Structure 1
Amino acid sequence: MADGPVVTVRGEAYREVPPELARFTVTVTARDRDRETTLTKLAERAAAVRVLLDGTGSAVDRRETGDLRVRPETRRATERVVAWHGAVTTTVTVSDFTALGELMLRLADQDQVEVAGPWWSLRPDSPAYREARHAAITDALDRAREYAEALGARVTALLELADTGSERPMMARMAYAGGPEGGTPELDLDPQPQPVHAAVQARFAISEPVLG
Structure 2
Amino acid sequence: MTTTPTPYGTPDAPRVAVRGEAHLEVDPEIARIGVTVSARGTDRRDALNNLTRRNTTALDLIKTYGEAVEKLETGAFSISPELHKHGRGERIRAYHGRVHITAELTDFTALGELTTRLADLDLTRIDGPWWDLRPDSPTHRKARQQAVREAVQRAREYAEALDTTLAALVELADIGAENTPDHGYGGPARSMRAAAYGGAPDLADEAAPLDLEPQRQHVYATVNARFTMTPPELSPSTAR
Q: TM-score, normalised by structure 2?
A: 0.81
Distance 1:174 1:140 in 2: 33
Contact 1:172 1:191 in 2 (8 A): no
Query: What secondary structure sits across from 1:61 in the alignment?
Result: strand
Distance 2:176 2:220 in 1: 8
Q: Deviation above 4 Å: which 4+ runs of structure 1?
A: none
* Consecutive unaligned residues in structure 2, runs of 5 or more: 1-6, 187-204
More strand by share: 1
In structure 2, what residue type is equivalent to 1:47?
Answer: T
- Work out which of the two has the higher radius of gyration on C-alpha atoms and give 1 or 2: 2
Contact 2:47 2:97 in 1 (8 A): yes
1:162-202 CA deviation, whole Å, 9 max, x = no partner?
10012212333369xxxxxx874231111011000001110
Equivalent in the alignment of 1:152: 163
The aligned runs of 1:115-134 (5 Å cut-off) are: 115-134=126-145
Contact 2:116 2:207 in 1 (8 A): no
Distance 1:154 1:173 in 2: 47
% identical aligned pairs: 48
Equivalent in the alignment of 1:135: 146
What's the CA shift for 1:87? 0.4
What's the CA shift for 1:209? 2.2
What's the CA shift for 1:10? 0.6
Equivalent in the alignment of 1:166: 177
Equivalent in the alignment of 2:27: 18
1:119-174 CA deviation, whole Å, 9 max, x = no partner?
00000000000000000000000110111111222111101111001221233336
Asked if 1:51 corresponds to 2:74, the answer is no
What's the CA shift for 1:69? 1.4
Asked if 1:89 corresponds to 2:96, the answer is no
With over 3 angstroms needed to count, the CA separation of the structure-2 counterparts of 1:78 and 1:15, relative to structure 1, is farther
* Consecutive unaligned residues in structure 1, runs of 5 or more: 176-181
Distance 1:91 1:7 in 2: 49
Asked if 1:203 corresponds to 2:226, the answer is yes
Report the number of matched residues.
206
Q: TM-score, normalised by structure 1?
A: 0.91
